[in-house]
Amino acid sequence: MDGSSAPAGAGTITQDWAGYRPEEHAVWRRLFDRQARALADRAAPEFLDGIAALRVSADGIPDFRRLNDVLDRATGWQIVAVPGLVPDAVFFGHLAQRRFPSTCFIRRPEQLDYIEAPDVFHDIFGHVPMLMNPVFGDYMQAYGQGGLKALGLGSLHHLARLYWYTVEFGLVRTPAGLRIYGSGIVSSHAESIYALDSDRPHRLAFDLMRIMRTNYRIDDVQETYFVIDDYDQLFAATRPDFTPYYAALARQPDIAPGALVPGDRPIAREARP
Ligand code: PHE
Ligand code: FE
């Protein structure tokens, strides 16, 4: 399929790649260089493989048309450009069709360490490499379908926590130790160090219902991370119909971001050299 001719739906725009200014490419370059160094022995192998296969590089902000050719051949995913945050139903509708909505703008040089809203570095560098992985790509599509269902059931506040603690802030066990696959971590310099190296946060074994009860913070590094064994575990755990899960969750209290509860299984952090 030719990605450029697929109907992208209402609210999408076109990335004006030729219109980026040199200063904007320079911001990408600085972010990329810093993260490439930080993530070489911290990011999940699937993330690093995705970056390499997509040839996302320090050259500058990538052209979505080129990435879409590679993505389409690998997993059938496409990037669609959007002006900013889109309504939940629109976002889930895109994911359900294997389209990932991405912003086009890049943060200003004084925002290298923190921005309030996702920019093209977070959306492309952070999210798109994992869409090259077949199992993770299927999980993201299923999440979109599940999001539409949760919206209809009034349970999006529960499901949204699953996205937060996996897609955005997930850790994975590997033979070499814990690794990062969450986009919110890989696109943040401070958190890509903190998530693996700090003694402060909890690192708990993945537990679907526990995650959907756990509040999260959007204004600071996470107090708790959830660790999957692999993406098959994640996909298998989320395959059942969530309707009875939501009914059960409605009767259970939320858990604070930094709290521990009975049944939690802390995952030992490998000593890092
Ligand atoms: N199986 C879930 C449901 O029935 C959908 C889902 C899939 C949710 C993958 C999250 C991730 O709602
Ligand atoms: Fe994100």
Segment 9-67, tens digit of pLDDT: 778 999 999 999 999 999 999 999 999 999 999 999 999 999 999 999 999 999 999 99
pLDDT over 70 for what percent of the chain? 96
pLDDT for 79: 98
Q: Which residue's CA lies nearest to atom 5 of ligand 1?
A: 146
pLDDT band at 205 (very low <50, low <70, confident <90, very high): very high
The model's pLDDT over 150-182, given as tens digits with 9 standing for 90+, comes to 999 999 999 999 999 999 999 999 999 999 999
Reported as a single tens digit per residue, the pLDDT across 59-99 is 999 999 999 999 999 999 999 999 998 999 999 999 999 99
Instruction: Tell me, in angstroms, the distance from the centre of ligand 1 to residue 245's CA.
Output: 10
The CA-atom distances, in angstroms, between 134 and each of 58, 141, 147 are 25, 11, 20
Residue 160 and residue 144: Cα distance in Å, rounded? 11
Ligand 1 pocket at CB < 6 A: 139, 142-143, 145-146, 149, 162, 238-242
Q: Which amino acid is at 217?
A: R
7: left (phi over 0), alpha (psi -120 to 50) or beta: beta
d(CA 8, CA 240): 29
Quick one: pLDDT at residue 4? 42
Å from CA of 185 to ligand 1 middle? 23
pLDDT at 2 over 70: no
Q: How far apart are CA 180 and CA 200, in angstroms?
A: 17
